[in-house]
Amino acid sequence: MRRSGEHFRVCPPLQSYSSGSPAIEAGEQSRRYGLRDGASQAVTQGSGEQFLSAFALLMHASPLQLGILSALPQLIGTVAQLASVKLLRWFPDRKSLIHTGTVGQALSWIPILVCPLLFPQWGPWLIIAGAAAYFSCNHFTTPTWTSFITDQLDQHERGVYFARRAQIVAAISFGSLCAAGGLLSLWQHQATAWIGFAMIFAVAGTARVFSAVALHPIQDVHHFESRSVHGGFRAFLAQTSRSFRRFLLFSSLMHLAVLIAGPYFVLYMLRDLHFSYLGYGGWLAAGILGQLLTLQAWGRFGDRFGNKALLSITGFTVPFLPMLYLISTNAAYMMGVNFLGGVTWAGLALGLQNYVFDAVKPEDRAKAVAVNSTVNAIGWSCGALLGSWLIAILPSGAELSQLSIPLASNLPLVFFLSGVLRLAVAASLLGQFHEARAVEQAPFSRLLVEIPLLKTMARLAANPLSRLSK
Residue 396 backbone dihedrals phi, psi, to 5 degrees: -95, 10
pLDDT grade for 169, boundaries at 50, 70 and 90 = confident
Given a cut of 80, whether residue 137 has pLDDT beyond it is yes
Backbone angles phi, psi at 405, to 5 degrees: -105, 110
Q: Give the separation between CA 170 and CA 287, rounded to whole angstroms.
A: 9
Residues 63-77: tens digit of each pLDDT: 999 989 988 888 888
Classify residue 95: in a domain, yes or no: yes
Task: Tell me which of 128-132, 190-194, 285-289 is least confident.
Answer: 190-194
Question: What confidence tens digit (pLDDT) does each residue in 418-445 have?
Answer: 999 999 999 999 999 988 777 787 777 7
Residue 114 reports pLDDT greater than 90:
yes
pLDDT in tens, 209-259: 988 887 777 666 555 444 444 556 677 777 888 889 999 999 999 999 999
Q: What average pLDDT is seen over the chain?
A: 81
Beta bridge mates, 141: none
If residue 462 lies in a helix (H) or strand (E), which one and from where to where? helix 454-462
Mean local confidence (pLDDT), 353-369: 82
Cα distance between residue 200 and residue 189, in whole Å: 17
368, with CB counted inside 10 A (0-12, 13-18, 19+), is buried
CATH number at residue 98: 1.20.1250.20
**Residue 295 pLDDT:** 82
Instruction: Please name the residue ranges forming H helices in 151-193.
Output: 158-185
Between 392 and 366, name the one with better pLDDT.
392
**H/E stretch holding 455:** helix 454-462
Report CA torsion sign: 458, 461, 467, 468. positive
pLDDT at 409: 85
Residue 245 within a domain: yes
Q: Which residues are within 8 A (CB) of 281 and not within 5 positions of it... i.e. 6 or more apart?
A: 50, 177, 178, 180, 181, 182, 184
Provide the pLDDT for residue 249: 95
Residue 27 exposed, middle or buried by CB count within 10 Å (0-12, 13-18, 19+): buried
pLDDT of residue 107: 94
Task: Count how many domains the chain has.
Answer: 1
- Report the DSSP beta bridge partners of residue 399: 404
Lowest-confidence segment of 162-166, 261-265, 392-396 by average pLDDT: 162-166
Q: What is the pLDDT of residue 202?
A: 93
pLDDT-derived band at 20, boundaries 50, 70, 90:
very low
Who wins on pLDDT, 357 or 26? 357
* In 216-241, alpha helices (H): 233-239
Considering 295-309, 358-372, 383-397, 413-427, the range whose residues carry the highest mean pLDDT is 413-427
* Percent of the chain surpassing pLDDT 90: 32
Structural domain containing residue 387: 22-220+229-439
Question: Quick one: 118 exposed, middle or buried, by C-beta within 10 A (0-12, 13-18, 19+)?
Answer: exposed
Query: Residue 14 domain-assigned?
Result: no
- DSSP letter at 451? S
Q: Lowest-confidence range among 96-105, 145-154, 238-247, 350-359?
A: 145-154
Say if residue 457's pLDDT is above 50: yes
Confidence (pTM): 0.74
Q: Out of 128-132, 283-287, 332-336, 400-404, pick the least confident.
A: 400-404
* Residue 270 located in a structural domain: yes
Note the pLDDT of residue 9: 32
Residue by residue, DSSP assigns 416-436 as HHHHHHHHHHHHHHGGGS--S
Query: Is pLDDT larger for residue 81 or for residue 92?
Result: 81
pLDDT band at 11 (very low <50, low <70, confident <90, very high): very low
What pLDDT, on the 0 to 100 scale, is given for residue 4? Answer: 37
Number of Cβ atoms within 10 Å of the Cβ of 365? 20
Helix (H) or strand (E) holding 88: helix 63-90
> Residue 15 pLDDT more than 50?
no
Tens of pLDDT along 295-310? 888 888 888 888 898 9
Residue 313 near residue 180 (C-beta atoms within 8 A):
no
DSSP secondary structure, 308-348, as one string = HHHHHHHHTTGGGTGGGGGT---HHHHHHHHHHHHHHHHHH
Domain assignment of residue 465, yes or no: no
Convert the pLDDT of each residue in 173-204 to its tens digit.
888 888 888 888 888 777 788 899 999 999 99
The pLDDT, as a whole number, for residue 365 is 77
CA nearest to 391, candidates 418, 412, 414: 414
In a domain, 11, yes or no: no
Query: What local confidence, expressed as pLDDT, does residue 185 receive?
Result: 84
Listed in sequence order, the residues at least 6 apart from 381 whose beta carbon sits closer than 8 Å to its beta carbon are: 70, 71, 72, 74, 75, 259
Note whether residue 453 is domain-resident: no
Given this model, what pLDDT does residue 26 score? Answer: 53
- For the ranges 41-55, 126-140, 354-368, 434-448, which has the lowest average pLDDT? 434-448
